[in-house]
Structure 1
């Protein structure tokens, strides 16, 4: 019998897909430990199948507890040929019974009424099966997203896929506010796209998620630009110890740095500047008091130091925490 492959291609072939583009196929592998991506892929596939088959039968099977012949029973042709979606979970802990059944299943011909999705979170358990699935199944990458740079890239792709725009400052602020997990970040991005028209700005992020951005990030920025080097360093270390991301610190430093640089060089009215910086009067007054201690040259040096730290936080440096601490020291010494 011919080996099982995709229902949309010749048997024996395989392809890769993403959670955003996944389409139903007879055999699919969700590979990687990021649960949010796997859930998004599964939801997309289920939605597509239910649109075609309102009577879709959905079954979940735990590969670590599967009994002899259970996979065969679930995938066998039914009397009335109802379309079926079968999700096999915990493939990383599959028992020997399931492993043997799954290898036999791959030798059977396709059944176009069955969509079999296998979920593997990592490890080498059942390597022979994984190798066979890698050759024959549609593989959807569900690798974890850990670094702030990867989270920013994920967020940009989310907005690009939805034909929406998010300002770079807003993207960094959103990662800082809701980037503790990919599900939180994805949900926050979806909420902004639902509720806000046009480009998403940092002010929108502040409006919706400002409460999540720890105030300590702004305390660090304030101490640094006030020239209180020891206090800024102490606040920064405390912020890291309490879970504040380095990207939250650089976002706060960058925002205050831009305000001070604009104030130092400004010659017009305060009203015009408040409008240009999109700041409420009280915040403009606070920034103006800090800016009195700065010169244009030193302000430019501070902005450059923040930009360098921001680049290192995004992946240039292997020690982003130290890069931000160095920028804080540079800023504080410039007052």
Structure 2
């Protein structure tokens, strides 16, 4: 294994490196609540270590009920000197015993054969440990990716890292088709990279994910707010039948509703609202056309209807599928009034 001592005690990593750049180091902090990015970073570290040592010993440590002395015991030299990778998750729920052990460990880390990866998804629990890790560990940025603009940036970087090109309209189509979660989006991009040679175009996305585009929650929301009632209900039923949850649909309806409500009285350029609403400028341009058919009162009522449907979908109703379908139909009927 190459020397890794330079990573220990370095404060230059505190700002965070990309999950694509994660590599073995004595101390690694996966900071942020995006599970997909943390999993990708851990996979890179694990793969690098196993390429150097096939006999790698990997241990997942639940820090919420870790006993005193458990961490130093896992990190202590083994009989045959096998390299060890220890994952400590989740620091937001750490026990007092692990917190004490971890702070002591940072003062005198194990030898170069141990890689300790710690995962923190948020909260102030163990702040003293987090502050120390920010100065001594390689910090991997696993911040959540929620807005479509962030997802588009994620796609661009995925294809750039693979030295491939995805056309802008193809990237937008892929986010609409498979952007429900970052895991879905990452899997879809990897499939295109494997199966398609050359540049990725909108035609490629339509070929592989066209059905999902038509059945996606975003398509349901678009049809509903455009007043296309029959199409909205049909798309909704097809979406649910193909595995899209009613909660995903209410999330898409809520986002579209917020955009329309903000644009009804907006007198400036739509892209000026993009940052505030967490949407890409091209999305707001589309929503601006839709907003012309809405009044402020009707838009406010639509947002309220979505909130009620979302509550019902999350347990307030016995038939969440029907509750959301009723909201979809009501929104479509209110468009243009």
TM normalised by structure 1 equals 0.69
Q: 1:327 aligns with which of 276, 285, 289?
A: 289
Q: Matched residues in 2 for 1:38 and 1:10: separation?
A: 19
* Cα pair 1:148 1:247 within 8 Å, conserved: no
Q: Matched residues in 1 for 2:159 and 2:278: separation?
A: 29
Larger Rg: 1
> Can you list the C-alpha shifts for 1:54-83, whole angstroms capped at 9, x where unaligned?
111101100101011000100011222110
* Cα pair 1:27 1:138 within 8 Å, conserved: yes
Deviation at residue 329 of structure 1 after TM alignment: 5.2
Deviation at residue 204 of structure 1 after TM alignment: 0.7
Q: Show the counterpart of 2:119.
A: 119
Q: 2:227 aligns with which of 224, 231, 243?
A: 231
Residues 180-199 of structure 1: matches in 2 within 5 Å? 180-199=180-199
> Can you list the C-alpha shifts for 1:259-295, whole angstroms capped at 9, x where unaligned?
xxxxxxxxxxxxxxxxxxxxxxxxxxxxxxxxxxxxx
> Can you list the C-alpha shifts for 1:174-216, whole angstroms capped at 9, x where unaligned?
0000000000000000000100011111111111111111358
Structure 2 unaligned spans of 5+:
237-247, 257-268, 295-337
Q: Show the counterpart of 1:164.
A: 164
Residues 125-144 of structure 1: matches in 2 within 5 Å? 125-144=125-144
Distance 1:135 1:317, change over 3 A: closer
Distance 1:110 1:318, change over 3 A: same
Structure 1 unaligned spans of 5+:
1-5, 224-228, 249-307
Q: Show the counterpart of 2:6.
A: 9
> Can you list the C-alpha shifts for 1:148-186, whole angstroms capped at 9, x where unaligned?
000000000000000000000000000000000000000
Q: Matched residues in 2 for 1:319 and 1:24: separation?
A: 34
* Cα pair 1:63 1:90 within 8 Å, conserved: yes
Q: Which moved more, 1:7-16 or 1:321-330?
A: 321-330
Q: Matched residues in 1 for 2:201 and 2:255: separation?
A: 17
Deviation at residue 318 of structure 1 after TM alignment: 2.6
What's the secondary structure of 2:199's corresponding residue? coil
Q: Show the counterpart of 2:43.
A: 43
Deviation at residue 9 of structure 1 after TM alignment: 0.7
What's the secondary structure of 1:204's corresponding residue? helix
What's the secondary structure of 1:58's corresponding residue? strand
Distance 1:219 1:86, change over 3 A: closer
TM normalised by structure 2 equals 0.69
| RMSD, matched Cα | 3.4
Q: Matched residues in 2 for 1:23 and 1:230: separation?
A: 48
Which runs of 4 or more aligned residues in structure 1 lie more than 2 Å from their structure 2 counterparts after TM superposition? 214-223, 229-248, 315-326, 328-332
Distance 1:27 1:94, change over 3 A: same
* Cα pair 2:26 2:109 within 8 Å, conserved: no
